[in-house]
Chain A
Amino acid sequence: DAKTTQPPSMDCAEGRAANLPCNHSTISGNEYVYWYRQIHSQGPQYIIHGLKNNETNEMASLIITEDRKSSTLILPHATLRDTAVYYCIVRVAPSSNTGKLIFGQGTTLQVKP
């Protein structure tokens, strides 16, 4: 699985959009980009994933660059409850390794009032 690079921390004002970047310059053509978040002392929570097209669900939007070397997770209207560590993961799907997620250090997002 390709390696990802994320900034260690970011701040965002409540009600504003939070844009979390992720670099995955060694991504392969069959690798997906997944985003999870972990609120303090809870299990990680799936947010969204995509291959090459932009994706949107009720939680967030995922923008993947045309060359697929980077992506941005967008929380359109951040709330205090969005304060968490956000993990960007690149993985092949499906394969014999599909159960394995490799977590980096993630980005700690602090949403401030």
Chain B
Amino acid sequence: KAGVTQTPRYLIKTRGQQVTLSCSPISGHRSVSWYQQTPGQGLQFLFEYFSETQRNKGNFPGRFSGRQFSNSRSEMNVSTLELGDSALYLCASSLEVRWRPRTEAFFGQGTRLTVV
């Protein structure tokens, strides 16, 4: 079955602009998480959505937001872009079932955002 799909793969934006990144999870997965990866800070959790509700949020400013649609697809938005927002943004989806321990997260290839 198809994996996690992130679009676009590469993006160049100017400071002050806003950007929207998209993530399509594996079919049947209702949990979608977003991560930012930079050389200095490594992989950092941004937020998680489950059934269209934000379930958890990392320590990022309010310029970073997200949402999830009824088909589990998710978008994240960064407003008023700063140079420091240049990073690889990764999306992960997971299947959750109550009667067994949490299954693994499947990551997409990421969107490489460059802010100039």
Min CB–CB distance B55 → chain A (angstroms): 6
Q: Is B101 an interface residue (CB 8 A)?
A: yes
Summarize A's interface: helix, strand, loop or mixed.
loop
Among A20-28, A69-77, A91-99, the one that faces the other chain is A91-99
Min CB–CB distance A11 → chain B (angstroms): 21
Min CB–CB distance B21 → chain A (angstroms): 13
Residues of B within 8 A of A91 (CB): 102
Restricting to B68-116, which residues have a CB under 8 Å from any CB of A? 88, 90, 92, 94, 96, 98, 101-102, 104-110
Q: Are B107 and A99 in contact (CB under 8 A)?
A: no
Q: Are A99 and B104 in contact (CB under 8 A)?
A: no
Residues of A within 8 A of B90 (CB): 43-44
Interchain CA distance A93-B110 in the complex, whole Å: 25
Residues of B within 8 A of A45 (CB): 107
Interchain CA distance A34-B108 in the complex, whole Å: 18
Interface size class of A (residues with CB under 8 A): 20 to 34
Min CB–CB distance B11 → chain A (angstroms): 15
Residues of A within 8 A of B44 (CB): 103
Interchain CA distance A44-B110 in the complex, whole Å: 10
Q: Are A99 and B101 in contact (CB under 8 A)?
A: no
Interchain CA distance A104-B109 in the complex, whole Å: 20
Q: Is B56 an interface residue (CB 8 A)?
A: yes
A100-B58, A101-B35 are known contacts; what are 18 more A-B pairs with Cβ within 8 Å?
A42-B109, A43-B108, A43-B110, A44-B90, A46-B104, A87-B43, A96-B56, A98-B94, A98-B96, A99-B32, A99-B48, A99-B50, A99-B56, A99-B94, A100-B48, A101-B33, A101-B43, A103-B43
